Structure 1
Amino acid sequence: MIQINLIPDVKLELIKSQRHRNTVVSISIIVIIASLVALALLALTLLNYKARIASVTKNIKTEDETFRNIRDIEKTVTVSNQLNYIQSSHEGKLISSRIFDLLAEASAKGTENSVAINSFDIDSTQNRISIVARTEQRGFDAAEVFRKNIEGMKMYYVEPEKDTVANEFTDSPRTKHKKEKSVNIASDVTLSEMVLARDGDTEVNKESVSFRIDFQYDPILFNQTVDMLRLRGLDRGNVTDSYTRLPTSLFTTPGDEKDGV
Protein backbone atom coordinates (compact mmCIF):
# COMPACT_ATOMS: atom_id res chain seq x y z
CA MET A 1 0.00 0.00 0.00
CA ILE A 2 1.28 3.43 -0.85
CA GLN A 3 0.69 6.31 1.75
CA ILE A 4 0.91 9.86 0.58
CA ASN A 5 1.51 12.57 3.24
CA LEU A 6 -0.59 15.43 2.06
CA ILE A 7 0.23 17.62 5.15
CA PRO A 8 3.50 19.49 4.84
CA ASP A 9 6.01 19.34 7.71
CA VAL A 10 5.37 22.98 8.51
CA LYS A 11 1.74 22.26 9.06
CA LEU A 12 2.58 19.38 11.40
CA GLU A 13 4.85 21.61 13.48
CA LEU A 14 2.09 24.19 13.71
CA ILE A 15 -0.37 21.61 14.96
CA LYS A 16 2.11 20.41 17.61
CA SER A 17 2.71 24.01 18.72
CA GLN A 18 -1.02 24.62 19.05
CA ARG A 19 -1.42 21.49 21.12
CA HIS A 20 1.47 22.51 23.36
CA ARG A 21 0.01 26.02 23.69
CA ASN A 22 -3.40 24.62 24.62
CA THR A 23 -1.81 22.40 27.24
CA VAL A 24 0.11 25.35 28.75
CA VAL A 25 -2.98 27.54 28.71
CA SER A 26 -5.06 24.82 30.40
CA ILE A 27 -2.46 24.30 33.08
CA SER A 28 -2.15 28.07 33.58
CA ILE A 29 -5.92 28.39 33.95
CA ILE A 30 -5.95 25.61 36.53
CA VAL A 31 -3.08 27.26 38.44
CA ILE A 32 -4.83 30.64 38.33
CA ILE A 33 -8.08 29.13 39.60
CA ALA A 34 -6.23 27.33 42.40
CA SER A 35 -4.43 30.56 43.30
CA LEU A 36 -7.71 32.47 43.37
CA VAL A 37 -9.26 29.84 45.62
CA ALA A 38 -6.24 29.96 47.95
CA LEU A 39 -6.36 33.76 47.96
CA ALA A 40 -10.06 33.69 48.79
CA LEU A 41 -9.47 31.25 51.67
CA LEU A 42 -6.62 33.42 52.93
CA ALA A 43 -8.83 36.51 52.76
CA LEU A 44 -11.60 34.75 54.69
CA THR A 45 -9.10 33.59 57.33
CA LEU A 46 -7.72 37.10 57.67
CA LEU A 47 -11.19 38.58 58.02
CA ASN A 48 -12.09 35.99 60.65
CA TYR A 49 -8.85 36.70 62.52
CA LYS A 50 -9.53 40.44 62.48
CA ALA A 51 -13.06 39.81 63.73
CA ARG A 52 -11.75 37.69 66.62
CA ILE A 53 -9.11 40.31 67.48
CA ALA A 54 -11.82 42.98 67.52
CA SER A 55 -14.03 40.83 69.76
CA VAL A 56 -11.20 40.05 72.19
CA THR A 57 -10.17 43.72 72.29
CA LYS A 58 -13.75 44.71 73.06
CA ASN A 59 -13.96 42.13 75.87
CA ILE A 60 -10.66 43.36 77.30
CA LYS A 61 -11.89 46.94 77.31
CA THR A 62 -15.17 45.89 78.94
CA GLU A 63 -13.44 43.83 81.65
CA ASP A 64 -10.88 46.57 82.22
CA GLU A 65 -13.63 49.14 82.68
CA THR A 66 -15.47 46.82 85.07
CA PHE A 67 -12.24 46.20 87.00
CA ARG A 68 -11.46 49.90 87.26
CA ASN A 69 -14.95 50.63 88.57
CA ILE A 70 -14.35 48.38 91.60
CA ARG A 71 -14.21 50.54 94.71
CA ASP A 72 -10.74 51.10 96.20
CA ILE A 73 -9.18 48.73 93.66
CA GLU A 74 -5.97 50.72 93.67
CA LYS A 75 -5.50 49.76 97.32
CA THR A 76 -5.67 46.10 96.45
CA VAL A 77 -3.59 45.60 93.35
CA THR A 78 -0.29 47.04 94.58
CA VAL A 79 2.32 44.62 95.87
CA SER A 80 2.86 46.58 99.08
CA ASN A 81 -0.82 46.55 99.90
CA GLN A 82 -0.98 42.81 99.23
CA LEU A 83 1.93 42.29 101.63
CA ASN A 84 0.21 44.46 104.23
CA TYR A 85 -2.96 42.43 103.80
CA ILE A 86 -1.06 39.17 104.27
CA GLN A 87 0.62 40.57 107.38
CA SER A 88 -2.67 41.78 108.89
CA SER A 89 -4.30 38.42 108.11
CA HIS A 90 -1.42 36.63 109.81
CA GLU A 91 -1.66 38.85 112.87
CA GLY A 92 -5.40 38.20 113.01
CA LYS A 93 -4.93 34.48 113.50
CA LEU A 94 -5.64 33.10 116.97
CA ILE A 95 -3.45 30.89 119.13
CA SER A 96 -6.43 28.85 120.29
CA SER A 97 -4.13 26.20 121.80
CA ARG A 98 -3.85 28.46 124.87
CA ILE A 99 -7.23 27.10 125.92
CA PHE A 100 -5.45 23.95 127.09
CA ASP A 101 -3.20 26.00 129.39
CA LEU A 102 -6.31 27.66 130.80
CA LEU A 103 -8.08 24.35 131.37
CA ALA A 104 -5.00 22.78 132.95
CA GLU A 105 -4.68 25.71 135.36
CA ALA A 106 -8.37 25.89 136.25
CA SER A 107 -8.95 22.14 136.68
CA ALA A 108 -6.66 22.02 139.77
CA LYS A 109 -5.39 18.52 139.13
CA GLY A 110 -3.78 16.82 142.11
CA THR A 111 -5.93 18.70 144.64
CA GLU A 112 -9.23 17.93 146.33
CA ASN A 113 -10.88 20.45 144.00
CA SER A 114 -9.75 18.65 140.84
CA VAL A 115 -12.12 18.77 137.87
CA ALA A 116 -12.31 16.62 134.73
CA ILE A 117 -13.04 18.50 131.51
CA ASN A 118 -15.67 16.81 129.34
CA SER A 119 -15.84 19.33 126.49
CA PHE A 120 -15.35 22.99 125.63
CA ASP A 121 -16.39 25.40 122.89
CA ILE A 122 -14.77 28.65 121.74
CA ASP A 123 -16.91 31.26 120.01
CA SER A 124 -14.33 33.67 118.58
CA THR A 125 -17.02 35.91 117.07
CA GLN A 126 -18.59 36.65 120.46
CA ASN A 127 -15.40 36.10 122.52
CA ARG A 128 -17.11 33.49 124.69
CA ILE A 129 -16.00 30.11 126.02
CA SER A 130 -18.24 27.32 127.28
CA ILE A 131 -16.86 24.45 129.36
CA VAL A 132 -18.65 21.28 130.42
CA ALA A 133 -16.85 19.55 133.30
CA ARG A 134 -17.26 17.13 136.19
CA THR A 135 -15.90 17.35 139.72
CA GLU A 136 -13.91 14.39 140.97
CA GLN A 137 -14.07 14.76 144.76
CA ARG A 138 -15.77 17.66 146.52
CA GLY A 139 -18.95 17.87 144.46
CA PHE A 140 -20.66 21.28 144.41
CA ASP A 141 -17.83 22.90 146.38
CA ALA A 142 -15.26 21.91 143.73
CA ALA A 143 -17.53 23.27 141.00
CA GLU A 144 -17.68 26.60 142.82
CA VAL A 145 -13.90 26.62 143.20
CA PHE A 146 -13.58 26.00 139.47
CA ARG A 147 -15.84 28.99 138.78
CA LYS A 148 -13.74 31.20 141.05
CA ASN A 149 -10.55 30.00 139.37
CA ILE A 150 -11.93 31.01 135.99
CA GLU A 151 -13.22 34.31 137.34
CA GLY A 152 -9.85 35.17 138.87
CA MET A 153 -7.73 33.78 136.01
CA LYS A 154 -4.89 36.08 135.01
CA MET A 155 -2.72 35.96 131.96
CA TYR A 156 0.85 37.16 132.29
CA TYR A 157 2.40 38.24 129.02
CA VAL A 158 5.07 40.36 127.41
CA GLU A 159 5.34 42.25 124.15
CA PRO A 160 7.30 40.01 121.73
CA GLU A 161 10.58 40.95 120.13
CA LYS A 162 10.63 41.33 116.37
CA ASP A 163 11.42 38.35 114.15
CA THR A 164 11.32 35.83 117.02
CA VAL A 165 9.38 32.63 117.55
CA ALA A 166 6.37 32.88 119.86
CA ASN A 167 7.36 32.10 123.44
CA GLU A 168 5.00 29.10 123.69
CA PHE A 169 6.65 27.46 120.69
CA THR A 170 10.25 27.70 121.86
CA ASP A 171 12.14 24.73 123.33
CA SER A 172 12.29 26.39 126.75
CA PRO A 173 9.34 28.80 127.13
CA ARG A 174 9.81 31.61 129.64
CA THR A 175 7.31 31.90 132.49
CA LYS A 176 8.55 35.22 133.90
CA HIS A 177 9.88 38.45 132.49
CA LYS A 178 10.93 41.74 134.05
CA LYS A 179 8.63 43.64 131.66
CA GLU A 180 5.67 41.30 132.02
CA LYS A 181 2.10 42.57 132.18
CA SER A 182 -1.04 40.87 133.44
CA VAL A 183 -4.73 41.01 132.66
CA ASN A 184 -7.85 39.26 133.97
CA ILE A 185 -9.06 37.22 131.03
CA ALA A 186 -12.56 36.22 132.19
CA SER A 187 -15.72 38.19 132.90
CA ASP A 188 -19.44 37.49 133.08
CA VAL A 189 -18.74 34.02 134.47
CA THR A 190 -21.85 31.88 134.98
CA LEU A 191 -22.13 28.44 136.56
CA SER A 192 -25.13 26.38 135.41
CA GLU A 193 -26.53 22.93 134.70
CA MET A 194 -25.17 21.47 137.93
CA VAL A 195 -26.28 17.82 138.20
CA LEU A 196 -25.21 15.03 140.53
CA ALA A 197 -23.40 12.33 138.59
CA ARG A 198 -24.55 8.72 138.82
CA ASP A 199 -22.48 5.55 139.18
CA GLY A 200 -24.07 2.88 137.06
CA ASP A 201 -27.82 3.15 136.49
CA THR A 202 -29.23 4.36 139.79
CA GLU A 203 -26.67 5.14 142.47
CA VAL A 204 -25.91 8.86 142.93
CA ASN A 205 -22.30 9.78 143.53
CA LYS A 206 -22.43 12.83 145.82
CA GLU A 207 -18.74 13.50 145.25
CA SER A 208 -19.17 13.95 141.49
CA VAL A 209 -21.14 16.83 139.98
CA SER A 210 -21.36 17.70 136.29
CA PHE A 211 -21.72 21.39 135.47
CA ARG A 212 -21.31 24.05 132.79
CA ILE A 213 -19.27 27.25 132.87
CA ASP A 214 -19.78 30.11 130.40
CA PHE A 215 -17.74 33.29 130.35
CA GLN A 216 -16.57 36.22 128.23
CA TYR A 217 -12.86 36.13 127.53
CA ASP A 218 -10.47 38.98 126.81
CA PRO A 219 -9.32 38.75 123.15
CA ILE A 220 -5.72 39.03 124.31
CA LEU A 221 -6.00 35.42 125.51
CA PHE A 222 -5.61 34.08 121.96
CA ASN A 223 -3.84 37.10 120.49
CA GLN A 224 -0.63 36.01 118.79
CA THR A 225 0.85 39.51 118.87
CA VAL A 226 1.73 38.99 122.56
CA ASP A 227 3.89 36.30 124.14
CA MET A 228 2.07 34.48 126.92
CA LEU A 229 4.25 33.66 129.93
CA ARG A 230 1.75 31.88 132.18
CA LEU A 231 -1.86 31.64 133.29
CA ARG A 232 -2.70 31.72 136.99
CA GLY A 233 -6.00 31.09 138.72
CA LEU A 234 -7.06 31.59 142.33
CA ASP A 235 -6.58 27.93 143.17
CA ARG A 236 -2.90 28.63 143.80
CA GLY A 237 -3.99 30.81 146.68
CA ASN A 238 -7.07 31.26 148.82
CA VAL A 239 -10.44 30.88 147.06
CA THR A 240 -12.76 31.34 150.04
CA ASP A 241 -15.51 33.95 149.78
CA SER A 242 -13.88 36.04 152.51
CA TYR A 243 -10.75 36.23 150.39
CA THR A 244 -12.26 36.79 146.97
CA ARG A 245 -14.57 39.56 148.17
CA LEU A 246 -11.68 41.67 149.49
CA PRO A 247 -9.03 43.55 147.51
CA THR A 248 -6.10 41.39 146.41
CA SER A 249 -3.66 43.96 147.79
CA LEU A 250 -4.65 42.94 151.34
CA PHE A 251 -3.31 39.43 150.79
CA THR A 252 -0.19 40.14 148.74
CA THR A 253 3.13 41.82 149.24
CA PRO A 254 5.00 43.90 146.68
CA GLY A 255 7.40 40.99 146.20
CA ASP A 256 4.58 38.55 145.51
CA GLU A 257 2.97 40.88 143.00
CA LYS A 258 6.28 41.32 141.25
CA ASP A 259 6.72 37.56 140.90
CA GLY A 260 3.21 37.19 139.53
CA VAL A 261 2.23 34.38 141.94
Structure 2
Amino acid sequence: MIELNLLPDVKRDFVRAQRTRRQVIAAMILLSMAAGGLVVALALYVYGGQFAIGQVLDGAIKDKSKQLANVKDLDDYLTIQNQLRALPALHSDKFVYARLFDFLPTLNPAPPNNIHITRLTASEEEGTVTIVGYARDYKAVTVFENTIKNAELSYTDNESGEQKTESFVKDIAMSEVNLSEDASGNRVVAFTASLTNGEGSYKRGISNVRLQVPNRDTTQSAQQVPQEVFSEGGQE
Protein backbone atom coordinates (compact mmCIF):
# COMPACT_ATOMS: atom_id res chain seq x y z
CA MET A 1 0.00 0.00 0.00
CA ILE A 2 1.37 3.34 -1.01
CA GLU A 3 0.75 6.52 1.16
CA LEU A 4 1.17 9.94 -0.34
CA ASN A 5 1.86 13.00 1.87
CA LEU A 6 -0.23 15.69 0.25
CA LEU A 7 0.68 18.41 2.89
CA PRO A 8 3.83 20.26 2.22
CA ASP A 9 6.36 20.67 5.06
CA VAL A 10 5.45 24.31 5.62
CA LYS A 11 1.81 23.48 6.15
CA ARG A 12 2.71 20.70 8.55
CA ASP A 13 4.94 23.01 10.62
CA PHE A 14 2.18 25.60 10.76
CA VAL A 15 -0.34 23.08 12.07
CA ARG A 16 2.16 21.90 14.65
CA ALA A 17 2.80 25.49 15.81
CA GLN A 18 -0.94 26.11 16.13
CA ARG A 19 -1.30 23.02 18.26
CA THR A 20 1.60 24.09 20.53
CA ARG A 21 0.13 27.58 20.83
CA ARG A 22 -3.23 26.20 21.93
CA GLN A 23 -1.51 24.01 24.51
CA VAL A 24 0.46 26.95 25.93
CA ILE A 25 -2.67 29.10 26.15
CA ALA A 26 -4.54 26.31 27.90
CA ALA A 27 -1.68 25.88 30.38
CA MET A 28 -1.58 29.64 31.08
CA ILE A 29 -5.32 29.66 31.68
CA LEU A 30 -4.99 26.79 34.14
CA LEU A 31 -2.11 28.54 35.94
CA SER A 32 -4.09 31.78 36.13
CA MET A 33 -7.06 29.95 37.57
CA ALA A 34 -4.82 28.25 40.15
CA ALA A 35 -3.23 31.57 41.10
CA GLY A 36 -6.65 33.17 41.39
CA GLY A 37 -7.82 30.36 43.62
CA LEU A 38 -4.74 30.80 45.82
CA VAL A 39 -5.39 34.53 46.14
CA VAL A 40 -9.00 33.86 47.08
CA ALA A 41 -7.91 31.29 49.67
CA LEU A 42 -5.41 33.74 51.21
CA ALA A 43 -8.05 36.46 51.29
CA LEU A 44 -10.48 34.15 53.02
CA TYR A 45 -7.81 33.26 55.60
CA VAL A 46 -6.77 36.85 56.25
CA TYR A 47 -10.21 38.38 56.41
CA GLY A 48 -12.25 35.40 57.45
CA GLY A 49 -9.92 33.20 59.47
CA GLN A 50 -8.32 36.04 61.39
CA PHE A 51 -11.72 37.49 62.18
CA ALA A 52 -12.89 34.12 63.45
CA ILE A 53 -9.74 33.70 65.56
CA GLY A 54 -10.24 37.20 66.96
CA GLN A 55 -13.80 36.38 67.91
CA VAL A 56 -12.66 33.23 69.68
CA LEU A 57 -9.95 35.11 71.60
CA ASP A 58 -12.35 37.91 72.53
CA GLY A 59 -14.76 35.32 73.86
CA ALA A 60 -11.99 33.69 75.90
CA ILE A 61 -10.96 37.08 77.33
CA LYS A 62 -14.53 37.86 78.32
CA ASP A 63 -14.86 34.48 79.99
CA LYS A 64 -11.65 34.97 81.97
CA SER A 65 -12.73 38.49 82.93
CA LYS A 66 -16.00 37.14 84.28
CA GLN A 67 -14.10 34.49 86.25
CA LEU A 68 -11.80 37.13 87.76
CA ALA A 69 -14.77 39.36 88.58
CA ASN A 70 -16.28 36.49 90.54
CA VAL A 71 -13.12 36.04 92.66
CA LYS A 72 -13.84 37.22 96.19
CA ASP A 73 -11.72 40.12 97.53
CA LEU A 74 -9.78 40.39 94.27
CA ASP A 75 -9.36 44.16 94.66
CA ASP A 76 -7.81 43.67 98.09
CA TYR A 77 -5.35 41.13 96.70
CA LEU A 78 -4.34 43.48 93.88
CA THR A 79 -3.91 46.37 96.31
CA ILE A 80 -1.68 44.29 98.55
CA GLN A 81 0.34 43.11 95.54
CA ASN A 82 0.91 46.69 94.37
CA GLN A 83 1.94 47.71 97.86
CA LEU A 84 4.41 44.83 98.04
CA ARG A 85 5.91 45.91 94.72
CA ALA A 86 6.35 49.44 96.05
CA LEU A 87 8.10 48.32 99.25
CA PRO A 88 11.64 48.01 97.79
CA ALA A 89 11.54 51.57 96.43
CA LEU A 90 10.15 52.93 99.69
CA HIS A 91 12.80 51.04 101.64
CA SER A 92 15.64 52.40 99.50
CA ASP A 93 14.43 55.99 99.98
CA LYS A 94 14.02 55.67 103.73
CA PHE A 95 16.63 57.31 105.95
CA VAL A 96 18.66 55.25 108.43
CA TYR A 97 18.02 57.25 111.59
CA ALA A 98 19.32 54.37 113.70
CA ARG A 99 22.75 55.68 112.69
CA LEU A 100 22.10 58.65 115.00
CA PHE A 101 22.68 56.48 118.06
CA ASP A 102 26.20 55.81 116.79
CA PHE A 103 26.78 59.54 116.26
CA LEU A 104 25.59 60.81 119.64
CA PRO A 105 28.55 59.55 121.73
CA THR A 106 30.92 61.32 119.32
CA LEU A 107 28.87 64.53 119.28
CA ASN A 108 28.59 64.73 123.07
CA PRO A 109 31.54 66.76 124.40
CA ALA A 110 33.73 65.37 127.14
CA PRO A 111 33.01 66.37 130.77
CA PRO A 112 32.54 68.91 132.16
CA ASN A 113 30.92 70.17 128.92
CA ASN A 114 28.87 67.05 128.26
CA ILE A 115 25.12 67.34 127.72
CA HIS A 116 22.17 65.20 128.83
CA ILE A 117 19.40 64.38 126.34
CA THR A 118 15.80 64.28 127.58
CA ARG A 119 14.03 63.96 124.23
CA LEU A 120 15.14 63.06 120.72
CA THR A 121 12.93 63.26 117.61
CA ALA A 122 13.56 62.91 113.86
CA SER A 123 11.41 64.26 111.03
CA GLU A 124 12.00 62.63 107.67
CA GLU A 125 9.62 65.06 105.95
CA GLU A 126 11.52 68.13 107.18
CA GLY A 127 14.92 66.45 107.18
CA THR A 128 15.67 67.48 110.75
CA VAL A 129 16.67 65.98 114.08
CA THR A 130 15.60 67.75 117.27
CA ILE A 131 17.55 67.28 120.50
CA VAL A 132 16.07 68.51 123.78
CA GLY A 133 18.43 68.40 126.75
CA TYR A 134 20.46 70.29 129.30
CA ALA A 135 24.05 71.00 130.33
CA ARG A 136 25.78 72.33 133.42
CA ASP A 137 26.17 75.89 132.09
CA TYR A 138 25.95 78.11 129.03
CA LYS A 139 29.52 77.33 128.01
CA ALA A 140 28.73 73.61 127.78
CA VAL A 141 25.73 74.37 125.56
CA THR A 142 27.94 76.49 123.30
CA VAL A 143 30.59 73.76 123.14
CA PHE A 144 27.93 71.24 122.10
CA GLU A 145 26.57 73.60 119.42
CA ASN A 146 30.00 74.29 117.95
CA THR A 147 30.96 70.62 118.08
CA ILE A 148 28.01 69.80 115.85
CA LYS A 149 28.74 72.76 113.55
CA ASN A 150 32.32 71.58 112.99
CA ALA A 151 31.61 67.84 112.80
CA GLU A 152 32.52 66.19 109.49
CA LEU A 153 31.08 63.01 108.02
CA SER A 154 33.10 60.75 105.72
CA TYR A 155 31.66 57.77 103.86
CA THR A 156 31.90 55.68 100.70
CA ASP A 157 29.14 55.85 98.10
CA ASN A 158 28.38 52.21 97.29
CA GLU A 159 27.09 52.98 93.80
CA SER A 160 29.99 55.11 92.56
CA GLY A 161 32.69 53.92 94.97
CA GLU A 162 33.56 57.56 95.64
CA GLN A 163 34.89 58.58 99.05
CA LYS A 164 33.12 61.72 100.29
CA THR A 165 33.65 64.10 103.19
CA GLU A 166 31.08 66.73 104.11
CA SER A 167 29.61 68.66 107.03
CA PHE A 168 27.53 66.50 109.33
CA VAL A 169 24.69 69.05 109.35
CA LYS A 170 23.66 71.83 107.00
CA ASP A 171 22.60 74.00 109.91
CA ILE A 172 21.90 73.94 113.64
CA ALA A 173 19.41 76.24 115.36
CA MET A 174 19.48 76.63 119.15
CA SER A 175 16.29 77.72 120.92
CA GLU A 176 14.75 77.80 124.40
CA VAL A 177 18.18 78.17 125.99
CA ASN A 178 17.45 79.12 129.60
CA LEU A 179 18.13 78.26 133.20
CA SER A 180 16.34 75.25 134.61
CA GLU A 181 16.69 72.43 137.15
CA ASP A 182 17.39 68.76 136.65
CA ALA A 183 15.65 65.88 138.45
CA SER A 184 17.93 66.36 141.47
CA GLY A 185 17.18 70.05 141.76
CA ASN A 186 20.57 71.16 140.43
CA ARG A 187 20.76 74.38 138.44
CA VAL A 188 21.31 73.58 134.73
CA VAL A 189 20.86 75.23 131.33
CA ALA A 190 18.15 73.66 129.19
CA PHE A 191 18.15 73.90 125.39
CA THR A 192 16.52 72.69 122.19
CA ALA A 193 18.79 72.01 119.20
CA SER A 194 17.28 71.58 115.73
CA LEU A 195 19.72 69.94 113.31
CA THR A 196 19.17 70.13 109.55
CA ASN A 197 20.48 66.85 108.13
CA GLY A 198 23.50 66.79 105.87
CA GLU A 199 23.31 65.09 102.49
CA GLY A 200 24.72 61.75 103.57
CA SER A 201 24.08 61.76 107.31
CA TYR A 202 21.31 59.16 107.26
CA LYS A 203 20.95 58.05 103.66
CA ARG A 204 21.18 54.44 102.50
CA GLY A 205 23.65 53.05 100.00
CA ILE A 206 26.78 54.18 101.85
CA SER A 207 29.42 52.37 103.87
CA ASN A 208 32.54 53.09 105.95
CA VAL A 209 30.62 55.86 107.71
CA ARG A 210 32.80 57.86 110.09
CA LEU A 211 31.99 60.99 112.09
CA GLN A 212 34.84 63.25 113.19
CA VAL A 213 34.72 66.23 115.55
CA PRO A 214 37.48 68.81 116.10
CA ASN A 215 39.78 68.05 119.01
CA ARG A 216 39.99 71.68 120.11
CA ASP A 217 38.10 74.37 122.01
CA THR A 218 35.30 75.41 119.67
CA THR A 219 33.69 78.04 121.89
CA GLN A 220 33.27 81.42 120.25
CA SER A 221 35.31 83.20 122.92
CA ALA A 222 38.27 80.85 122.48
CA GLN A 223 38.23 81.31 118.69
CA GLN A 224 38.05 85.11 118.83
CA VAL A 225 40.75 85.78 121.48
CA PRO A 226 44.27 86.08 119.96
CA GLN A 227 46.51 83.17 120.94
CA GLU A 228 49.42 85.44 121.91
CA VAL A 229 47.40 86.93 124.77
CA PHE A 230 47.60 83.62 126.66
CA SER A 231 50.96 82.40 125.38
CA GLU A 232 53.75 81.93 127.81
CA GLY A 233 56.67 84.31 127.74
CA GLY A 234 54.71 87.13 126.12
CA GLN A 235 56.10 90.64 126.27
CA GLU A 236 54.38 93.29 128.38
The question of whether the paired residues in 1 share the 8 Å contact of 2:151 and 2:211 is answered with yes
**Letter in structure 1 aligned against 2:66:** I
Q: 1:119 to 1:181 in 2, by over 3 A?
A: same
The question of whether the paired residues in 1 share the 8 Å contact of 2:172 and 2:194 is answered with yes
Are 2:227 and 1:227 aligned? no
Instruction: State the number of aligned residues.
Output: 153
The question of whether the paired residues in 1 share the 8 Å contact of 2:174 and 2:192 is answered with yes
Q: 1:244 to 1:105 in 2, by over 3 A?
A: farther
Q: Partner residue of 1:126? A: 126
SS at match of 1:97: helix
Q: 1:88 to 1:60 in 2, by over 3 A?
A: same
Instruction: Quote the offset at 1:141 in angstroms.
Output: 0.6
Are 2:186 and 1:215 aligned? no
The question of whether the paired residues in 1 share the 8 Å contact of 2:154 and 2:164 is answered with yes
Q: Partner residue of 1:20? A: none
The question of whether the paired residues in 2 share the 8 Å contact of 1:107 and 1:117 is answered with no
Q: Partner residue of 1:191? A: 174
Q: 1:213 to 1:160 in 2, by over 3 A?
A: same
Q: Partner residue of 1:100? A: 101
CA distance in 2, matches of 1:124, 1:199: 30
The question of whether the paired residues in 1 share the 8 Å contact of 2:130 and 2:195 is answered with yes
Percent sequence identity is 19
**Letter in structure 2 aligned against 1:106:** L
Q: Partner residue of 2:142? A: 144
CA distance in 2, matches of 1:200, 1:92: 40
* Structure 1: runs of 5+ lacking an equivalent: 1-55, 64-75, 163-177, 246-261
Q: 2:220 aligns with which of 237, 241, 246?
A: 241
* Structure 2: runs of 5+ lacking an equivalent: 1-61, 70-80, 225-236
CA distance in 1, matches of 2:102, 2:217: 20
Q: 1:102 to 1:244 in 2, by over 3 A?
A: farther
The question of whether the paired residues in 1 share the 8 Å contact of 2:94 and 2:204 is answered with yes
The question of whether the paired residues in 2 share the 8 Å contact of 1:197 and 1:210 is answered with yes
**Letter in structure 2 aligned against 1:125:** E
- Trace 1:61-210 onto structure 2 (pairs within 5 A): 82=85, 87-108=88-109, 110-135=110-135, 137=136, 139-160=137-158, 180-198=163-181, 205=187, 208-210=188-190
The question of whether the paired residues in 1 share the 8 Å contact of 2:146 and 2:219 is answered with no
The question of whether the paired residues in 2 share the 8 Å contact of 1:127 and 1:217 is answered with yes
SS at match of 1:223: coil
SS at match of 1:146: helix
Please list the CA deviations of residues 55-113 of structure 1 after superposition, one character each: whole Å capped at 9, or x if unmatched.
x94963996xxxxxxxxxxxx99xxxx5xx554333223221111122212212x4221
**Letter in structure 2 aligned against 1:89:** L
CA distance in 2, matches of 1:243, 1:227: 35
Instruction: Quote the offset at 1:224 in angstroms.
Output: 1.5
Q: 1:94 to 1:228 in 2, by over 3 A?
A: farther
Instruction: Quote the offset at 1:237 in angstroms.
Output: 2.4
**Letter in structure 1 aligned against 2:197:** Y
Instruction: Quote the offset at 1:225 in angstroms.
Output: 0.6
SS at match of 1:215: strand
The question of whether the paired residues in 2 share the 8 Å contact of 1:101 and 1:231 is answered with no
**Letter in structure 2 aligned against 1:222:** Y
SS at match of 2:103: helix
Calculate the TM-score normalised by the size of structure 1: 0.49
CA distance in 2, matches of 1:200, 1:194: 18
